[in-house]
Amino acid sequence: MLRVIEELSNREDLVFFYYDLRKYATPTKEEFLTIFFEKSDKKYIPNKLEINLKIFKLGIEENFNFKNPSLNDVFAKINESINAVIEEGKKPVLVIDELQKLKNIYFNGNNKEGKSLLNELFNLFVHLTKVRHLCHVICLTSDTLFIEEIYQSSTLENASKYYLIDWLSKEDIKKILKEEEFSKDEIDYCINYLSLPYEISDLIENKKLGLSVEETIRQWINVEKDRIKYVIRNNLNYKDEIINILSLFKDSPTLKNDDLDDELFGTVKLLINNEILFYDVVNGIIKPTSIKKWYAIRELI
């Protein structure tokens, strides 16, 4: 997402409001406000934490009370900032990364007695996009169970699009490895084990340290096997079900959600929460979180 913003930063007609919630502990109501807003006499101001990119924060007047705000006050301030951008002839783009970290924040009451910030935000996003066409809103999350939750949200029905950020293609991986001067034999050996960007970085760093691609991949699979064993040992009541589910991936890294018995889905969620499996709600597919994890599952089974 930052790469996209960087590539578009030379466009004078776009203003990005980017919030990476990964940077923060799960925020409280008050902390949410300090993350999204900054006191200023302007409606929107440059984000000091993102000085190299044209990224802004929503402006809020000096006397605004962060300790006892209402949701209507908060949304009024968001609308003011969005409209200020539009009045300047520009297009606002609101980006929230790791959106799921907002799901336990409530206003106008304690816990679930109050209004869910996330539910109300979705209503606001639909208003800004589908109803008024004022703003682009992009939400990102690595929590696949959370994606399932929002996918079922009636608020977002026919008002949102879903995009899967999937494993790298083999052609892209080959291209990168060739640029990094890996030999044909090295590429031929490791190409079937790679799926994620950081794995390529790990291969490159380990090669500099003198480790072969075979040694690096062997280490990966050993670590992944140990992680799966750890989850099983911590959930012995579900051991048979876990083994049953993992056995479904013996011959293929993908499983259609429709081919999974309903009784097993609770245990599948356990494996998703522990980042052993990934639930692709867009295509209705369940698969290991990486190719190397698939090899670890096969060896373990």
| 2-156: CATH topology | Rossmann fold (3.40.50)
**pLDDT given at position 108:** 73
Whether residue 13 contacts residue 86, with contact meaning beta carbons closer than 8 Å, is answered with no
Place of tokens 């990934």: 278
The neighbouring-strand residues paired with 140 are 97
Cβ within 8 Å of residue 229, ≥6 positions away: 300
Task: State whether the Cα torsion 136-137-141-146 is positive or negative.
Answer: negative
CATH 3.40.50.2300 fits 170-300, yes or no: no
Phi-psi sector, 291: left (phi>0), alpha (psi -120 to 50), beta: alpha
Q: How far apart are the first and last CA of the chain?
A: 37
Helix (H) or strand (E) holding 106: strand 106-107
Tell me: the pLDDT tens digits for 238-262? 999 999 999 999 999 999 999 999 9
Share of the chain above pLDDT 70, in %: 97
Asked if the domains at 2-156 and 170-300 fall in one CATH topology, the answer is no
Query: Of 69-73, 180-184, 267-271, where does mean pLDDT reach its minimum?
Result: 69-73
The ranges assigned to domains in the chain are: 2-156, 170-300
Length of the chain: 301
Checking DSSP bridges between strand 136-140 and strand 115-116, what pairing results, if any?
Answer: unpaired
* pTM of the predicted structure, to 2 decimals: 0.82
pLDDT digits (tens, 9 = 90+) for 178-220: 999 999 999 999 999 999 999 999 999 999 999 999 999 999 9
Record the tokens describing residue 208, joined without a space.
């500099």
pLDDT of residue 39 exceeding 90, the answer is no
CA–CA separation, 9 vs 102, rounded Å? Answer: 27
Cα–Cα distance, 171 to 76 (Å, whole number) = 47
What confidence category does residue 172 fall into, taking pLDDT thresholds of 50, 70 and 90?
very high
